[in-house]
Structure 1
């Protein structure tokens, strides 16, 4: 297909050239979806309260646990995922620098030659067969940004940089939630181990009593074997809980960037072992709808859309001619006698137009547009999934707290039942089976109570995570050791400095693409 065959296109191109530079492609805009603007959840409202402290960016302070705070600080400084995300921000800054170079002449080339020519032909009188030729020159080519090819590329790289920054914050959100979840999983396992050991101790004493009664002929073997079975069953749960504690400690070590082994933060007894906090509210500083759309992963999805939207303009620029300013200055000389040396200066405009592309350019535009539409769907789904996660976590917290009261009373009743069963057995008013049943019920209720308290904490952490809390860190993007290692290999100028541009603090919104060109 020949674009020259369209008089209307030629007239429009001429008018645009006279009018100045434009930017092809859609201008990216953001607009909230109707449902997200006024989204609210009865569960989130019931499971949260608004006050200033602690802030969402350091929500784990609500637990008032100094060990957890030290572990989070260590993870911020040493976690591999956070370090990689920080380096990706630095990479995106370098990519933005490449795009910014498009504002300047694309071709800036200096060259020089010294050639030796040895000819075996019979030379003319006064001329030798060996000649040196010298030349030097400087060429420059500057494609004018008539169609916004380079400005759209800068726009795309800029959005990609901020998307990398949002992804770094999202890694922090996930890390802090995972750190808190793992830490309280450790405390839960410690508490369950204490309960198992205490119940094993009680059951061992019952087993020893039945053993003496059996040997004295005051009891049958059935009571003995049942007491033994229950005691050994409880005893067998202890190694599994000890193994779970070891695995959880190793997981914490990896999260803070250390090899598996003892952690200094957990080395000394602090009285926090087996302590599972019970907090019935999340502390928020804004309405859930705004917090939801400020989640780093949601912002990253929005910024990825902005980056892809600009690439449509880059692709559309190939449909139109490129106008460049070319220039060259050169000097040439030769050792041949009688040959003049001289300078040459060349300059002027140049026009290039892919008039026969066989649909390649148009299909590339369609490819970029299809990718944008995919990211729009991804963004919309990300917001919906974020709302679901927040509602699920809030409802889970509410129900865990309701169950906590019931299980606490059940545990107290089971403990009282065991006391009564032991008294009745000693007085001879009941058989030993009732004691075994009471012991079994006590262990089960106490364990269920601890697990439910752990679930309540997990749901609270999940609610903070769903609302995008925990994106802050006091650590630089690139730690000092890594910075020194990279600077030994490459001149990074100031790209490794801590001062990184922040994404504009604006009201969150759902992107919408304006397709007017």
Structure 2
């Protein structure tokens, strides 16, 4: 149903002023309510309490400093500056800012167009003995404007949704940084562990080679049986065969670390060979209770902001139930080149009312679609919180158990070393056969390798614990680096969108009262 007035009467003006006054305070659809999880306030984890402690240093935002490793610090700085996935997430923040600008444009007239025409006319008429021939130009120019009033909150709800999506994009960017820093640290310590395992294998291979050469000489001189020779050879070749696999693991891990910091495979910058064992930290240092840290995780904040964005879209869909009031106006100027004619200037304006009286289920089902999507996102948020708690509890339990295993294996390695010394001494003095030496060597290699792996597992669980609590999201670097910004500005007019915005708050309540900056 559609009706329009050609002219604005005084009463019509008063009606429109009243509509404008009401339009600012009427918004259909639900207001955002944080989904929340009641259990999180009372959640306790004995494993987490055992594996963490309250403190101010180091800051959880830069948790990797607990390792006091300058090489790791340099690698994380490189990944912050050059990692491709992190750059993509930063550009998605810029995309969300542009989408927010599109939504904000709904506050202004939606139809703004100018037109101009020039028409040449040649008219020839024959009437008896008086033929007529006329030539003239016709000119016209006009400007049309249409402004749909935000009477039911269609545009303000769309802005609310885009605003939430923008902050969700920022939270996803911070989450990408959390995952990247944890991955860099885990890959770095995995590299150091594999290099240590390679050194142990080479050292044991050298020792087993000497034993093999000794048994070979004794066999050739008739002092040893061939069995000792073949057993020594078997053990030596078995250890030797593990070295190529470890070397391959080292190279693959180096390449993975290089790609994480935005470099091609090859020599790693800032890479310093370290002969020492990777450091062990027995607990995480936290600046807040774990429950609050879980809700502060970037991916949890992003999930809640997605709920806020979808909640506003219900209001956008519901606004289609109600009439839309649009103000139209036109200015048209026309003239021609015929002598004796005058120019004309027409001013036309008035309101236009549109109302879909018969939606045949289209509008109502669209509202239901948006509501179903909202409930899906609420369930996704709740599951995200549960998964975050599970990750934290698993990592804390894993840290405690791996440290316990490391202590046991450390004592086992000491015992294996002593066993090899005693077995070798007894063999040389003739009190035992060579099999006991081989068994002691095999046990020592196994204990040393397991010990290195147990230390690596402990460090991995500590990193996973910090990651599960959202540590490492903060960085002072800009969202889009200077080089990328210059390329994009040269290609497209971005205005001020690529500049780092001042600290802003979303248009809806901040999740659980937690601000964007810690």
- One fold, TM greater than 0.5? yes
Q: Secondary structure at the match of 1:29?
A: coil
Alpha-carbon deviations, 1:23-66, whole Å to 9, x = none?
11110022532111221211111001111111111100110000
What's the offset of the Cα at 1:201?
Answer: 1.4
Q: In 2, Cα distance between the equivalents of 1:37 and 1:322?
A: 45
Q: Where do 1:237-316 residues align within 5 Å?
A: 237-266=242-271, 268-269=272-273, 272-273=274-275, 275-316=277-318
Q: 1:314 to 1:507 in 2, by over 3 A?
A: closer
Q: In 2, Cα distance between the equivalents of 1:455 and 1:165?
A: 32
| 1:509 counterpart residue number | 512
Name the Cα RMSD after superposition: 2.2
Of residues 364, 369, 375 in structure 2, which corresponds to 1:373? 375
| 1:87 counterpart residue number | 91
What's the offset of the Cα at 1:188?
Answer: 0.2
Of residues 175, 189, 192 in structure 2, which corresponds to 1:187? 192
Q: In 1, Cα distance between the equivalents of 2:91 and 2:56?
A: 33
Of residues 76, 80, 93 in structure 1, which corresponds to 2:80? 76
8 Å contact from structure 1 (residues 167, 296) kept in 2: yes
**2:230 equivalent to 1:225:** yes
Once structures 1 and 2 are overlaid, which stretch shifts more, 127-136 or 101-110?
127-136
Alpha-carbon deviations, 1:380-412, whole Å to 9, x = none?
110000000000000000000111111000110
What's the offset of the Cα at 1:109?
Answer: 1.3
Q: In 2, Cα distance between the equivalents of 1:44 and 1:119?
A: 93
8 Å contact from structure 1 (residues 143, 323) kept in 2: yes
Q: In 1, Cα distance between the equivalents of 2:374 and 2:206?
A: 64
Q: 1:310 to 1:290 in 2, by over 3 A?
A: same
- What is the TM-score when the length of structure 1 is the normalising length? 0.92
| 1:11 counterpart residue number | none
Q: In 2, Cα distance between the equivalents of 1:45 and 1:131?
A: 92
What's the offset of the Cα at 1:130?
Answer: 3.0
| 1:442 counterpart residue number | 444
Q: Secondary structure at the match of 1:112?
A: strand
Q: In 1, Cα distance between the equivalents of 2:95 and 2:305?
A: 16
**2:218 equivalent to 1:200:** no
Of residues 161, 167, 174 in structure 2, which corresponds to 1:169? 174
Alpha-carbon deviations, 1:84-105, whole Å to 9, x = none?
1111111111111111111111
Q: 1:203 to 1:277 in 2, by over 3 A?
A: same
8 Å contact from structure 1 (residues 54, 62) kept in 2: yes
Of residues 496, 499, 503 in structure 2, which corresponds to 1:497? 499
8 Å contact from structure 1 (residues 122, 129) kept in 2: no
Q: In 2, Cα distance between the equivalents of 1:127 and 1:418?
A: 125
Q: In 1, Cα distance between the equivalents of 2:494 and 2:249?
A: 45
Q: In 1, Cα distance between the equivalents of 2:172 and 2:147?
A: 35
What's the offset of the Cα at 1:279?
Answer: 0.5
Q: In 1, Cα distance between the equivalents of 2:367 and 2:338?
A: 56
| 2:463 counterpart residue number | 461
Of residues 122, 129, 132 in structure 1, which corresponds to 2:137? 132
| 1:336 counterpart residue number | 338
8 Å contact from structure 2 (residues 148, 325) kept in 1: yes
Q: 1:212 to 1:256 in 2, by over 3 A?
A: same
8 Å contact from structure 1 (residues 290, 508) kept in 2: no
Q: In 1, Cα distance between the equivalents of 2:417 and 2:104?
A: 72
Q: 1:355 to 1:127 in 2, by over 3 A?
A: farther
Alpha-carbon deviations, 1:226-283, whole Å to 9, x = none?
10000111111111111111111111110011111101211x54xx245311110111
**2:59 equivalent to 1:55:** yes
| 1:417 counterpart residue number | 419
What's the offset of the Cα at 1:341?
Answer: 1.4
Q: Secondary structure at the match of 1:492?
A: coil
Matched residue count: 496
Q: 1:502 to 1:343 in 2, by over 3 A?
A: closer
What's the offset of the Cα at 1:510?
Answer: 10
- What is the TM-score when the length of structure 2 is the normalising length? 0.92
Q: In 1, Cα distance between the equivalents of 2:457 and 2:335?
A: 85
Ranges in structure 2 where 5+ consecutive residues have no aligned partner: 3-15
Of residues 322, 325, 331 in structure 1, which corresponds to 2:324? 322
8 Å contact from structure 1 (residues 203, 231) kept in 2: yes
**2:472 equivalent to 1:470:** yes
Q: Secondary structure at the match of 1:350?
A: strand
| 1:152 counterpart residue number | 157
Ranges in structure 1 where 5+ consecutive residues have no aligned partner: 4-13, 512-517
Once structures 1 and 2 are overlaid, which stretch shifts more, 173-182 or 477-486?
477-486
Once structures 1 and 2 are overlaid, which stretch shifts more, 320-329 or 124-133?
124-133
